[in-house]
Amino acid sequence: MGKKKMVNITHKSNTLRKAIAQAVVKVSSADTIKAVEEKTVPKGDVFEMAKTAGLFAAKRTSDMIPDCHPLPVEYTNITYNIENLEIYINVEVHTIYKTGVEVEAMHAASVVALTMYDMLKPIDKGISIEKIKLLEKKGGKTDYRKVVEENQISATVIVCSDSISAGEKQDKAGKVIMEKLEAYQVAVEDYQIIPDEKETIQNLVREKCAKKVSLVILSGGTGLSPRDVTPEAIQPMLERPIPGIEEAIRAYGQDRTPYSMLSRSVSGLIGNTLVLALPGSTKGAEESMDAVFPAIMHIFRVMAAFKHD
């Protein structure tokens, strides 16, 4: 067996994540429920004590569960609902981070239930914890899967490089981009390698837009060398620039290398085709994709909503 290690989430972006978990404590007597409601349990106020324990548990989940990442718990709410002899515990947790909080919510719900059990067992020998489950989670890549399911998204990947097109180097950046697209079930309909020639770039992009390809991603030519002409080729063609995408790419990259500020990535719509010009380095292309996917696919949902026959 290999050595245990934490899942690497450094490639992810912070987003709002929410989770709601539930636990059920079942007692054996209506007298127990009455004691809880009237706050006559010998060990104290069950609801308040259990809520305090749950708040601690939500924040300390990573101390107890080895694979859970330490994360900022921005909000926790614990509520109760009594139905006959069952006490339903609902725990809602929010964070703005790279990974979800479903385990934090379930951990907190379980600790609330255990605290109740501990406080009530002296007066009720028939108490039990019936179930702990996740009711709801929001945020992260799963929210964008429906976009691909609802819209037939196709992509073309174009590598702009004199040296690669001449056979002097092997393309890695374009292949990384394709791997990322395929991971999100985006069909790559074409992959081409062309030299750093402004007219060649423009002609190929026009051809793909005319064929109504959903997404055209160019890799290379976004730097500052004399032959880096991809932005100059693409910018005049854009009908609707989307500067926020470029800002997200550079901000994400800046957290990883100070050289990200030198990148001249561009983005925008030509008709209904989204065009992205990304760096030609393998790491730059990979990080640029991580910076904007899968959230960027919301564009296709918006365009589909306003499409007219």
Residues tagged active-site: 118
Q: Is 154 left (phi over 0), alpha (psi -120 to 50) or beta?
A: beta
Which residue carries 């100070």 as its tokens? Answer: 258
Nearest CA to 174 among 196, 191, 187, 198? 191
Which residues are bridge partners to 133 per DSSP?
22
Under a CB-based contact definition with an 8 Å cutoff, are residues 229 and 202 in contact? no
Tokens of 17: 């994540």
Contact indicator for 106, 21 with CB cutoff of 8 Å: yes
The residues, ordered by sequence, that sit 6+ positions from 50 with a Cβ below 8 Å of its Cβ are 78, 89, 112, 113, 115, 116, 119
Q: If you count DSSP H runs as helices and E runs as strands, how many of each does the chain have, helices first?
A: 12, 10
Q: To 10 degrees, what angle do helices 243-254 and 282-292 make?
A: 120
**Among residues 132, 142, 141, 144, which one has the least CA distance to residue 104?**
132
Closest C-alpha to 117, from 54, 52, 64, 46? 46
- Helix, coil or strand: residue 96: strand
Terminal-to-terminal C-alpha distance of the chain: 57
Q: What single-letter DSSP state applies at residue 33?
A: H
Crossing angle for the helix pair 46-59 and 102-120, to the nearest 10 degrees: 150
Alpha-carbon gap, residue 66 to 47, rounded angstroms: 29
